[in-house]
Structure 1
């Protein structure tokens, strides 16, 4: 079953910064709102089963991150996926779906990476009730983690750096010009659904959607616009101003 097929599902378009975000809602709007933010190379449909389970008790909101799914992409792409602009998008969605009450925020993978920004910048204070993070660190926290290990290297710390560096091989690849786009719009995009089914036991069906090749190509700019800059110059004020629940999947092969 796709997200649009769920009973009571409804969609709206939210304009922000020259783009349009595709926003889906389920459940009673009078209940507390939970906003689910997807990762890379996903679209909001990755949350379908979770949204179905939450909708009886929550006002559930999901949106396609800019350049993904049925949301439009910024032009030019370069500079269009910064954490600052992603924060603008979140605030636009939150103001549209829950103008008078703060929302509970849940992020996975790059949805969590950007949500750490939402939870630590001053302009979102009062708009977030809680933040649940899954498999996506704050780039600022990660940058400090790297700097601490490089400043005082020990065999254990060097091993941690090398181990995470090996798991992050795909990050380096996504910084390569043109090649990721060619791969996703070519053989990788065609094979990805079968790879998910085999490696992560994701059943074939409505996910991933047909927008996957473009989603993944656009999403490479999430890495290019943010990772190098934040890891080299992490914010010193990246303290959460909301309660945080951190979920760490111990079997995650990337983090």
Structure 2
């Protein structure tokens, strides 16, 4: 990406604020609300602007909605760690759904922590009628991860234990984010300035667009990890969904390993799986590819015939 993200949007977004509990969430919309709605949920340490390259490529086909999750961008930033629990993040999603598509279900697309948090809603039977489909990129359900880790430990098979050990190594940043004060200090003392260099060197992105909220997004977003990881990993719940799921697995992801999704057909029987030759931020590195996959999947769920590549991506139910 050589251009600023702001210049990639198809037209100025319509911004509004949606109330969720006592918080205000910044919500951005593009396109005709009469078209099928795609709701985009960003990860850490990003905000809604990370979706602009994708929005540019899907403009005209869909009503596109993105929002800054609590703690990010222009949305409110609670100071208490407990205010970042998954159940509250799910309530935020419901508030956005009620505001932007109260009558029709949306097609949900999420990356990284956006995907982690929206699994909470996708696996909630009460929201089944509100979500037409789900495209998940590099973000597993934490309960599924907890179950996967238990299975690996109990199997005592060398390969299974190696997969577990490898993922634990890849998750080094999670341990760091649980340290008191140090992650926040790092973002204040230069982390925001160094972040584009990290994306260039690790993800191979050219000239990542600057994020004026980067230091704030990083500082507040660490509470997502502190509020949710330990409970879900050590006391995982059985979380199933009948929502059609398109799983996108970047093969060069340095943080989320592909073995984490081995048992997903057990939890999501209506599953399509695609592998992308990209890193964790595939949505920035290959937005054209991602736009095509989302368009194919959503169109099929809405009644069109499946493309050849989509038929190949269909996974057998367990």
Normalised-by-shorter TM-score class: over 0.9
2:50 to 46, 50, 54: 46
Contact 1:33 1:98 in 2 (8 A): yes
Partner of 1:219: 221
Partner of 2:174: 171
**Deviation digits for residues 166-192 of structure 1, max 9, x if unmatched?**
000000000111000000111222211
1:67 to 38, 62, 71: 71
SS at match of 2:129: coil
Partner of 1:122: 125
Partner of 1:131: 134
SS at match of 2:225: helix
SS at match of 1:202: coil
Q: Give, in whole Å, the separation in 1 of the partners of 2:245 and 2:6.
A: 27
Using the TM superposition, give the Cα deviation of residue 241 of structure 1 relative to its aligned residue in structure 2, in angstroms: 2.8
Contact 2:26 2:75 in 1 (8 A): yes
The 5-angstrom pairing of residues 1-255 of structure 1 reads 1-3=4-6, 6-74=10-78, 76-204=79-207, 207-236=209-238, 238-255=239-256
Aligned-residue CA RMSD (Å): 1.4
Contact 2:81 2:224 in 1 (8 A): no
Length-normalised TM-score, structure 1: 0.95
Number of matched pairs:
252
Which runs of no fewer than 5 residues in structure 1 stay unpaired?
none
Contact 1:77 1:218 in 2 (8 A): no
SS at match of 1:185: helix
**Deviation digits for residues 142-196 of structure 1, max 9, x if unmatched?**
1000011112211111101110000000000001110000001112222112222
SS at match of 1:137: coil
Using the TM superposition, give the Cα deviation of residue 224 of structure 1 relative to its aligned residue in structure 2, in angstroms: 0.4
Length-normalised TM-score, structure 2: 0.77
Contact 2:123 2:240 in 1 (8 A): yes
Q: Which has the higher helix share?
A: 2
**Deviation digits for residues 54-99 of structure 1, max 9, x if unmatched?**
121000000001010111112x321011110000000000110001
Using the TM superposition, give the Cα deviation of residue 8 of structure 1 relative to its aligned residue in structure 2, in angstroms: 4.5
